């Protein structure tokens, strides 16, 4: 009986691994080999379908149309000046009405949002470009599609552990599946941290190619740290690396792109006024 369960568990795990491995393809913009669960067209559809609900969770769109136009203008400048213009994604930029939650995020396929709470803390267009460039990096990096594939793999492995341990005495099976779930979640969080760091690096490229001083991203990290009130979660268990550690990576990315120093013609842009 136990042998039968083990064979079934191995089959479930094998199918999950084979499916995940067969989804491997090269990202045409970053050149990275990734395991992707969705086509670009599916990413676009998923993002468009998710956008209204996500906006509603943050109080809907900010009512000031001039604010929305300004954000859209900076966002489109970033897209048109960078490798993002070569992608099939439909980039849209919007400010959410939430005045309490300091956040910005990208949905698959191109919708990008920033909350009023974060926008009000930014001082100039270059800082805004750093935030939006980071989120554009998530889209062209196909991080959502990659995470979906990883989630599907993790779920198949959790199921396999549950099947294998289902006949154990007491709560052994449930405990084994629970442990597997925690481990799988930690693995996915680690990959999420790597995605954040890649997006920071891509953000440096995107904003500087649009004429913005990438050093403004350093100030964004300070703003995020200040917004946290000094509270720090253990970095290993966080999908967003500590702003201090991100500052070091951003500095390295700037030095790689501009080994002779940041050109004087890159600017901070206009002051942000809300």
Mean pLDDT of 205-230: 90
Say how far apart CA 231 and CA 263 lie, in whole Å. Answer: 35
Contact 96, 135 (CB under 8 A): no
246: confidence class by pLDDT, cuts 50, 70, 90: confident
More confident residue, 44 or 154: 44
Residue 11 pLDDT: 53
Residue 176 pLDDT: 47
Residue 241 has pLDDT above 80, yes or no: no
Q: Tell me: the pLDDT tens digits for 149-161?
A: 676 655 655 554 5
Residue 130 pLDDT: 97
Residue 152 pLDDT: 62
3-state SS of the chain? CHHHHHHHHHHHHHHHHHHHHHCEEECCCCCCEEECCCCHHHHHHHHHHHHHHHHHHCCCECCCHHHHHHHHHHHHHHHHCCHHHHCCCCCEEEEECCCCCCCEEECCCCEEEEEHHHHCCCCEHHHHHHHHHHHHHHHHCCHHHHHHHHHHHHHHHHHHHHHHHCCCCCCHHHHHHHHHHHHHHHHHHHHHHHHHHHHHHHHHHHHHHCCECCCHHHHHHHHHHHHCCCCCCCHHHCCCCCHHHHHHHHHHHHHHHCCCCCCCCCECCCECCC
Burial of 121 by CB count in 10 Å (0-12 exposed, 13-18 middle, 19+ buried)?
Answer: middle
Six-digit token string for 270: 């206009």
Mean pLDDT of 265-270: 96
Contact 104, 93 (CB under 8 A): no
Q: Tell me: the pLDDT tens digits for 190-208?
A: 447 788 889 999 999 999 9
Six-digit token string for 173: 């099976």
Angle (deg, nearest 10), helices 125-140 and 143-165:
50
> What mean pLDDT, rounded, does the chain reach?
80
Six-digit token string for 120: 């009000």
Domain parsing of the chain, residue ranges: 2-257
Of 74-78, 138-142, 177-181, which one has max mean pLDDT? 74-78
- Out of 108-117, 118-127, 145-154, 157-166, which region has the weakest mean confidence (pLDDT)? 157-166
């Amino acid at each position: 009986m136990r042998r039968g369960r083990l064979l079934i568990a191995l089959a479930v795990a094998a199918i999950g691994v084979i499916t995940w491995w067969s989804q491997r393809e090269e990202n045409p913009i970053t050149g990275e080999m990734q395991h992707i669960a969705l086509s670009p067209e599916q990413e676009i559809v998923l993002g468009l379908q998710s956008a209204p609900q996500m906006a509603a969770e943050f109080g809907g769109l900010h009512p000031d149309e001039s604010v929305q136009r300004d954000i859209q203008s900076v966002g489109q400048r970033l897209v048109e000046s960078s490798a993002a213009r070569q992608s099939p994604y439909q980039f849209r930029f919007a400010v959410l009405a939430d005045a309490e939650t300091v956040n910005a995020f990208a949905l698959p396929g191109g919708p990008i949002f920033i909350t009023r709470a974060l926008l009000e803390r930014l001082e100039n267009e270059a800082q805004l470009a750093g935030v939006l460039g980071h989120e554009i990096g998530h889209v062209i990096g196909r991080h959502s599609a990659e995470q979906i594939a990883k989630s599907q793999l993790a779920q198949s492995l959790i199921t396999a552990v549950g099947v294998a341990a289902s006949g154990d005495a007491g709560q052994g099976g449930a405990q084994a599946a629970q442990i597997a779930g925690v481990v799988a979640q930690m693995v996915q969080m680690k990959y999420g941290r790597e995605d954040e760091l890649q997006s920071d690096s891509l953000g440096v490229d995107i904003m500087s190619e649009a004429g913005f001083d990438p050093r403004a991203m350093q100030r964004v990290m300070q703003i995020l740290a200040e917004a946290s009130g000094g509270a720090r979660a253990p970095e290993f268990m966080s999908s967003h690396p500590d702003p201090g550690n991100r500052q070091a990576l951003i500095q390295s990315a700037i030095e790689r792109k501009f080994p002779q120093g940041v050109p004087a013609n890159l600017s901070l842009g206009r002051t942000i006024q809300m």
